[in-house]
Structure 1
Amino acid sequence: MRTTRKYATTATAAALVLALAACSGGGEDAPDADELGDVGAMADYGVGTTFRATEPVEIGLLYRDHPNYPLQEDWDILTKLEENQNVTFDIVSAPLAEWDQRKGLLIGAGDAPDVISVTYPGQEVQFVAGGAILPVSDYLEHMPNLQQKITDWGLEADLDQLRQEDGKFYLLPGLRESVRPMYTFAVRSDVWSELGLSLEPATFDEFADDLRTVKEAYPDAWPLSDRWSANGPLEATLNMAAPNFGTAAGWGYGEGLWWDEDAGEYVYTGATSEYRELLEYFAGLVEDGLLDPESLTQDDDQAIQKLGSGQSMAIGANDQEILRYRTTFEELGTDAEVALLRVPAGPAGDHLAAGGRLVSGLMLSADLAESEHLLATLQLLDWLYYSDEGLEFAKWGVEGETYTKAADGTRTLAEDIDINGLNPGASTVLNTDYGYHNGVWMLEHGSSDELDRSMLRPEVLDFLDQMAGKTSLEYGPPRPFDELEREQVSLWQTALRDHVMQNTARFILGQRSFDEWDAYVAELEGMNLQQYLDVANEAQQRYADAG
């Protein structure tokens, strides 16, 4: 038999819940706390409280099994959660290669476990209409650490981007205190130093000039041979460059809608003059022999081998892949150095994409609403993913066992444990052997600036400091579609996006002249571009009118 208990909330927490509900029009049919299953829940749980279930609780978990750290039932993180939080997991595991497919099948069949891990913002939308996932915004009052982070870090506008047509959101996202840029170019720093070139070019035009200098000095090598084109041309590079041209591209292309502040409406990204200017820049690099045209077709290993063997001098990178590049140099016997380049400014300014503070998170099965352990599950998730204590535990492990902590707060990983190259050659790895620093329980490093930076190498901290001068673009206003609109626009979105990606590659490679840009836009218009924009702008106006 289910027992229930009414839980008190602080005035601040209650005010936040009311504010979030009021600004969205949601929350009016939020469940009554008296009706929620509270077996195992703490009556006095709040910010600063270490969660421990009052009786053993088992939580169903759909687990994304990463090949770099395969699931082990005896991981220390699972042992500690059982010993200290009185929680165990009934794990349904799916391999990374099949993750999205398996997740969709389980949710669609109504067989998903209580907690569905590793879900990026936007991926939850497809499951909302079916009623299989929980509107988590209805339960914020039971997650005080999440509420505090939203308030302290000013994330209300970010959360609004998750809201659906009913005013609710269905994802518990990982949260970042600040945006953390990750992608850039890695360049042969020994060559850049030899030629007197800067690792902080002021503009993309200056970067192109630097590539010309490299080409003159090393005519037999590509100044830049890029990667990450598996699902579209130059996905990482266009994504990080685009905000500086006043647009979105690559991984960040999304649904292809861009808010035109002057016009007060959404326009189609791939048809704008800013998108054209971005493509013209990279087409110019290809035309001038500065960018290897195979960058748009080669797989990642080919691009890395070119860098490692000296056939190229720069490549797309992030703070982890640069370690792989150094290993490749060693394996191939190439005497070379490599460093991260500050992403330059562009014609639209010195920018980062909008958002970036909501990262991979969780969905909850709608069936959890009827569980006797609902409140205990919400409290565990709130502690593990949003409290300072839980975030540190998931990232670093246990103080005195996997790391030590100095009086000034500096953490040091145990000598026999490595992660991210902090202790090269150590006999064990924090995620592989212990289960910590694991994307299922760590939500892609979502945390405070201090904790996020605590495990970064000096070169990465230097890169972040260099990038700190960039400003994030602002979100466009929310435009949630209703079920019928979503079904219709999904067909248009796919066709439009495919045509944009195909022609993005053709324009960059010089296979299509920019003299044909107007014809290309006309082709998009013939694929229901205007109808798509009409629905999007109507949805935006409807949401705005709802208050």
Structure 2
Amino acid sequence: MKTRKTIALLMAPLLGTMSLAACTASGPEETNTSIDQDWSQADPITIDVFSATANYMGIQGGWFGKIVKDKFNMELNIIAPNVAGGGDTLYNTRVAGGDLGDLVIVGKGKQLDELVEGGLVLDASPYYESMTNAAQYDPAVQRLNEGKDGVYGFPSEVSSLNPTEPADPIDPTFGAYLRWDYYGEAGYPEIGTLEDLLPVLKTMQDAHPTGENGKPTYGISLFKDWDGNMMTMGKQPGAHVYGYEEVGFVLAKADGSDYQSALDSDGAYVRGLRFFFEANQMGLVDPESTTQNWDTMFTKYQGGQVLLSWWPWLGQSAYNTDQNTAEGKGFMLVPMADQKISASGGSPYGGGLGLTYSIGSSAEDPARIAAFVDWLYSPEGAATTFAGPEGLTWEIVDGEPVLTEFGRQAHLGGGAEVPAEWGGGDYADGGSALNAANLAFNEVNPNTGLPYNYKAWPSYQATAANPLTEDWSARMGGATTTMDYLKENDQIIVAPGAGFTIPADDAEIEAIRNQVKATIVEHSWKMVFAKDEAEFESLLASLQETAEGLGFEKVLEVDMANAKAQDEARVEVAKEFG
């Protein structure tokens, strides 16, 4: 697990589920339900943590592991389906055995409901009474557990920020981020629409055929790890850059103004596949895209081998080190005339990824696990997750948080070796492998009055200017952040954070969905790497025909209703909290 990858991996799709009716399990008897005790003096334990979004498997080590060990005398054994081949196999195997884990991080809605029904997670109500940090977000906890006879889950990405304002004041989650220095060398060509990116990338790749590591450079690199209802990378160009979000097989405009099928020939998803197909025809796509994982791709960005990033927490996190930006090198959002990027607003009921923390019914020490979950909601826990340990990566100076010299090297300098007393090892490798934040990245720390996101700290902003950002700002009308530019140019659509939970599919719809999504993903990858236009169109027709034959329209009808219900929830939360 790489800390600079943490936010990126929050975008990973959730696992499927199976029927749990026959998989009941009863938890241990618990006499002491208070979490308010010194857990550092308790007997040492190791707990199994099943995380649907983790990209590391094994014992959590490094600085985060040491903090957990010191505070709770507990080690975390991370169980990660993304590492164990992906898909539902590991999940189903453990569910069939009646023990998913001591701490379970899965999707809310259908997954949580079935785990509750199957008795694999316990009612944490007795512990919640003393979980003072989590209780600060009680409306979100109550909403998540609505209709249940207890507290079975704790929501992720909870925020007290205005749901009608972008939750991230610096960068939206999506966008076309180019190697700005190469873009400048090309003469800052105008980019009217998505497809205009391709000749620009070709010019940049031809001028720089190898990266700093001496290996081939590609305009685009892809990976399969997060594929779900669709090819995840396929959604980025045509959908997210133009304000659409996925709701099953529906792509819904974040402002509720449009809904379309993922398989529409002229729709946003197919547009993204066409974009990648054209890019591959031009020699811009990394040929290892079909076999590599996230880690391999991320390393290529670090080595300067990839020129376009769809997420700031990919290209910028990997490449925009202090050394590179001081030389004017790095990824910045490119000015695309017709972009209308979707951004999430504050989420009073929990973030759009819809993850939930639950305590396994077989956990031997549920009170200690509840204490750990509560700590993750605390100012100390959240600050540690997002900015690192206070005293190591940051400190309070004149009442405000400031990155230490070590912190700048760890976050912005390309990495740093952690002192032994803090856990040792590479800083990036030692970050939290849970990969599911309890609070929103830009939630305000009540102890400092500033976001947990160190990039929003005045102390960071005062030192953030460098040749790269100065050139970008000069070309972007004086904007100082990506969000400033997008808001000034009316190129952002904010989706109010309603915490909407998609209802569980019935058995028939679930079965159809599983078959359809498999064929969508399979055909999508083949379409990107089709030998010519005729094969691309043939594969598209085959996909549409196959999906229709499997019952695609039945699922689409359900997803369309869910998408519209989600928009209604957003309207309501905007009225209530906006």
Structures share fold, TM-score greater than 0.5: yes
Structure 1 pair 347–284 and aligned structure 2 pair: CA distance change class (3 A) = farther
Residues 61-70 or 401-410, more deviating: 61-70
| Corresponding position of 1:225 | 219
> Is the CA contact 2:250–2:261 (under 8 Å) kept in the aligned structure 1?
yes
Say which of 231, 239, 243 aligns to 2:240: 243
1:208-238 deviations in Å (ceiling 9; x for gaps): 46446647x8497999532223356974464
Structure 1 pair 147–466 and aligned structure 2 pair: CA distance change class (3 A) = farther
Matched, 1:61 2:47: yes
1:299-340 deviations in Å (ceiling 9; x for gaps): 47997898899887545664465565589x99xxxx986422
Structure 1 pair 323–72 and aligned structure 2 pair: CA distance change class (3 A) = closer
State the secondary structure of the residue aligned to 1:61.
strand
Matched, 1:273 2:270: no
Matched, 1:89 2:89: no
Matched, 1:386 2:348: no
> Is the CA contact 1:259–1:265 (under 8 Å) kept in the aligned structure 2?
yes
Deviation of 1:396 (Å): 5.2
| Corresponding position of 1:481 | 504
Query: RMSD of the TM alignment (CA)?
Result: 5.7
> Is the CA contact 1:164–1:481 (under 8 Å) kept in the aligned structure 2?
no
Matched, 1:116 2:104: yes
- Partner amino acid for 2:515? W
State the secondary structure of the residue aligned to 2:400.
coil
| Corresponding position of 2:397 | 406
Deviation of 1:106 (Å): 3.5
Structure 1 pair 526–359 and aligned structure 2 pair: CA distance change class (3 A) = closer
CA separation in 1, counterparts of 2:158 and 2:100? 27
State the secondary structure of the residue aligned to 2:546.
helix
Matched, 1:77 2:77: no
State the secondary structure of the residue aligned to 1:492.
helix
> Of the two, which has the highest radius of gyration?
1
Deviation of 1:529 (Å): 0.8
| Corresponding position of 2:494 | 472
| Corresponding position of 1:523 | 546
CA separation in 2, counterparts of 1:432 and 1:511? 55
> Is the CA contact 1:225–1:303 (under 8 Å) kept in the aligned structure 2?
no
Matched, 1:366 2:381: no
State the secondary structure of the residue aligned to 1:273.
coil
TM-score normalised by the chain length of structure 1: 0.63
Residues 522-531 or 352-361, more deviating: 352-361
How do 1:54-203 and structure 2 match up within 5 A?
56=42, 61-63=47-49, 66=56, 71=61, 76-81=66-71, 87-89=72-74, 91-94=76-79, 97-98=83-84, 104-116=92-104, 119=106, 124=111, 127=115, 129-134=117-122, 143-149=131-137, 171-175=153-157, 177=159, 178-179=167-168, 181-182=172-173, 187-197=178-188, 203=193
- Partner amino acid for 2:358? M
| Corresponding position of 2:341 | 350
| Corresponding position of 2:453 | 453
TM-score normalised by the chain length of structure 2: 0.61
| Corresponding position of 1:48 | none
Deviation of 1:135 (Å): 6.3
Structure 1 pair 209–452 and aligned structure 2 pair: CA distance change class (3 A) = farther
Matched residue pairs, number? 476
CA separation in 2, counterparts of 1:72 and 1:309? 24
CA separation in 1, counterparts of 2:524 and 2:248? 13
1:1-25 deviations in Å (ceiling 9; x for gaps): xxxxxxxxxxxxxxxxxxxxxxxxx
- Partner amino acid for 2:156? G
Deviation of 1:415 (Å): 4.0
- Partner amino acid for 1:378? A
> Is the CA contact 1:187–1:313 (under 8 Å) kept in the aligned structure 2?
yes
State the secondary structure of the residue aligned to 2:547.
helix
- Partner amino acid for 1:89? M
State the secondary structure of the residue aligned to 1:411.
strand
| Corresponding position of 1:5 | none
Deviation of 1:132 (Å): 1.2
Residues 310-319 or 102-111, more deviating: 310-319
Deviation of 1:138 (Å): 10
Deviation of 1:518 (Å): 5.9
